[in-house]
Structure formats: structure tokens, C-alpha cells
Amino acid sequence: MDRRQVLKAAGFAATAGLTGLAGCSAPSDETDTPSGDGTDTSSGGGSGGGTTTVEMVTSDDGSYYFDPIGLFVEAGTTVTFENASGNHSATAYAESNDAAERIPEGATAFDSGILSEQGATFEHTFETTGTYDYFCLPHKSLGMVGRVVVGEAGGPAEGSMPPDGDVPESGTIVDQGSVSYDEFSG
């Protein structure tokens, strides 16, 4: 059963000043779940059962990126992918998504589908420890890729970059908790 759901964030304009952080207030046994109404305002990576947000951005200068581009979380953390601007997806490098496997063995692959409305969100709960590389389907040829490290680095993504762009090394992500796009690309 496909549990993926794409929602337009209710009250986006009212919460834009909170840097668009949205999530659910409790962990879920499901992997792809709709956004709840709680927020996590912590900086850096999330903790098990918490939530954190990655923005999908089309900049005024024509850059396409995830921010943060590198994120560390504990197993059980829900990551909300929020469309800040443009048309984007958050799609795991996995055979089920017609891509080379770059997620841990036994991990659930994810694919948000194309989010075209500003403020639209997609959530995925990361249960399996390891390194996950993902991309934006419409912009992967332009280097729109990201990395999430869950618990500790490991799996087929370790030791190489995604085929469509560069991401921070897993050790840097673990040490810093998150790596912003500006920090990585600057």
C-alpha cells in the first residue's frame, strides 16, 4: 500500500517566519506520512523520534538545491522535505526509483513525487542506520542532490559521491549535525 502523501502546508504564510519548520509531534511507525502541526526548532540534526526540515529551493540566480544539503539524524527521526520554491522531488537513489542503490540495505526507499506548490511537504521517517543519498528528479542533471546520515555512516553511498553531484562527506555531516548549502557550495 502506497502511504506517500503530499500536502500543502496549512498556514504556510503564518509560519514562514519560523523558517518553514514543520513536522509531527510524535514518531510514526509509517515511513511516508503527512505533516502534523508540531515543530522542531532545534538546530542541527534531529534526535530519534523528532522531526527536522530540508528545504527544496530554486534560487533567483537559477540554482537548484536542498538546504541543508547534508543532515545527521538518529534512527526514528522524521524529515520533512518542504518545497520553498519551484518544482522539486525528494527521491532516494534506489533501484525501485530507477537509480543505482545508495541507501542502506533493508532501508525503505522514498519518493515524494513532484511537489509544485510553494509550501508543499513530504515526510519520510528514517528507521535504518546508514547513509542515504537522494536527488530531485527534475533537477538531478543540474546537481540537485542531498545526503542524510542516520545514526552512523555506512552502506553503498559511503566512499563515493552520488552520480549527479557532490554532497558533504558523511563524517563532516556527523560532526556538524547539518551542512547548509551555502556553507558547502561557498
Q: Which residues are annotated as a binding site for Cu cation?
A: 136, 139, 144
State the binding site. 136, 139, 144
Task: Report whether 93 contacts 20 (CB < 8 A).
Answer: no
| Dihedral sign for Cα atoms in the order 168, 169, 170, 174 | negative
Task: List Cβ neighbours of 76 (8 Å cut-off, separation of 6 or more).
Answer: 27, 48, 49, 125, 126, 127
Which set of grid coordinates corresponds to residue 95?
533501484
Task: Report whether 111 contacts 92 (CB < 8 A).
Answer: yes
Task: Report whether 6 contacts 121 (CB < 8 A).
Answer: yes
CB-based burial label for 27 (10 Å; 0-12, 13-18, 19+)? middle
